[in-house]
């Protein structure tokens, strides 16, 4: 089983949207997926229980002392666990980072998103040092608007801060917003293509276990 944590201390950066994409696509590919929702707003839990058309196990857990044991308990029956975190660095977020194989840090097109992405990458670095192991982490640009000054600016700020960033950019598309009530993750058009590229990159980073890859 592998663990993918989605974290940034910026609220509304696209964490839950990214979690839906990963869970929905992997579920469509036949993988057994679970999510731990560590956000007090329980947005992802509500989505899985009321909107999602995908087979996803969901657990809502805010207590930082229970995050790692809960993830462990999902180990036997699932290929991938995605941890969605709150829009502020909580103790639960630190444990979610600590147990992850891959951490994804969504960044939309605002200065606040960059400031919080930098802070979150520093938090991950610090957790890596504390645990004496490297935690693979990448910024994922989302809500991206190609050929605009704001997106060019965001990319240059990310480069200036030397943050490792995924090649795939998730554009600002209605298909990603609609997912919140249709419950279906896009498989066609530009949104579908971006999801596929995104998942390929996560796989290359080690976010999907070998055995599950062969089965999918």
Ligand X SMILES: Nc1ncnc2c1ncn2[C@@H]1O[C@H](COP(=O)(O)OP(=O)(O)OP(=O)(O)O)[C@@H](O)[C@H]1O
Alpha helix positions (H), the chain: 15-28, 43-46, 64-73, 91-98, 111-131, 149-160, 174-182, 189-204, 210-215
Residue whose pair of structure tokens reads 């999602």 in the numeric block:
52
R_g over Cα of the chain: 16
The piece of 21-29, 42-50, 74-82, 187-195 that touches Mg ion (CB under 5 A) is 42-50
Q: Does 15 bind Mg ion (CB under 5 A)?
A: yes
Whichever of 10 and 15 has its CB closer to Mg ion, that residue is 15
**Among candidate residues 157, 52, 53, 65, the one with its CA nearest the CA of residue 107:** 157
Nearer to ligand X, 39 or 101 (CB): 39
Please give the residue ranges that form the binding site for ligand X (CB under 6 A).
11-17, 39, 41, 43, 87, 142-143, 170, 172-173, 176-177, 180
In the complex with ligand X, the residue whose CB is nearer, 152 or 177, is: 177
- Name the one range near Mg ion by CB under 5 A: 35-43, 47-55, 137-145, 190-198: 35-43
Please give the angle made by the CA atoms of 169, 42 and 119, to the nearest 5 degrees.
50
Contact 107, 141 (CB under 8 A): yes
Residue 46 in tokens = 């509500």
Report how far residue 131's alpha carbon sits from residue 41's, in angstroms, rounded to the nearest whole number.
29
- Work out whether 138 is an interface residue with Mg ion (CB under 5 A): no
Residue 90 site contact among Mg ion, ligand X, none (CB < 5 to 8 Å, cut-off depends on kind): none
Interface with Mg ion: number of residues (CB under 5 A): 3
Sign of CA dihedral 101, 203, 1, 19: positive
27 contact choice in Mg ion, ligand X, none (CB below 5 to 8 Å, kind-dependent):
none
Q: How far is the CB of 140 from ligand X (least distance, A)?
A: 10
- Residue 11: contacted member of ligand X, Mg ion, none (CB under 5 to 8 Å, by partner type): ligand X
Residue with tokens 């066609």: 188
Partner that binds at residue 143, options ligand X, Mg ion, none, CB closer than 5 to 8 Å by kind:
ligand X
Distance CA 1, CA 108 (A): 29
> 176 contacts which partner out of ligand X, Mg ion, none, CB within 5 to 8 A by kind?
ligand X
Site of interaction with Mg ion (CB under 5 A): 15-16, 43
């Amino acid at each position: 089983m592998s663990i993918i944590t989605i974290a940034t201390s910026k609220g509304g950066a696209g964490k839950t949207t990214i979690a839906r994409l990963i869970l929905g696509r992997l579920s469509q590919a036949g993988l057994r997926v679970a999510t731990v929702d560590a956000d007090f707003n329980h947005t992802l839990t509500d989505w899985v229980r009321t909107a999602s058309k995908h087979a996803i196990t969901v657990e809502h857990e805010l207590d930082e002392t229970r995050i790692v044991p809960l993830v462990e308990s999902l180990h036997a029956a699932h290929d991938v666990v995605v941890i969605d975190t709150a829009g502020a660095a909580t103790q639960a977020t630190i444990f979610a980072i600590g147990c992850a194989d891959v951490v994804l840090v969504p960044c939309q097109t605002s200065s606040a998103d960059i400031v919080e992405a930098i802070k979150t990458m520093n938090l991950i670095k610090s957790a890596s040092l504390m645990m004496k192991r490297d935690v693979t982490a990448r910024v994922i640009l989302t809500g991206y608007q190609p050929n605009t000054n704001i997106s060019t600016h965001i990319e240059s700020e990310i480069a200036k801060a030397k943050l490792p960033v995924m090649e795939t950019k998730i554009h600002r598309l209605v298909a990603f917003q609609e997912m919140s009530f249709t419950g279906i993750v896009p498989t066609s058009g530009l949104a579908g293509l971006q999801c596929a590229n995104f998942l390929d990159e996560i796989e290359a980073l080690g976010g999907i276990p070998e055995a599950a890859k062969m089965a999918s």
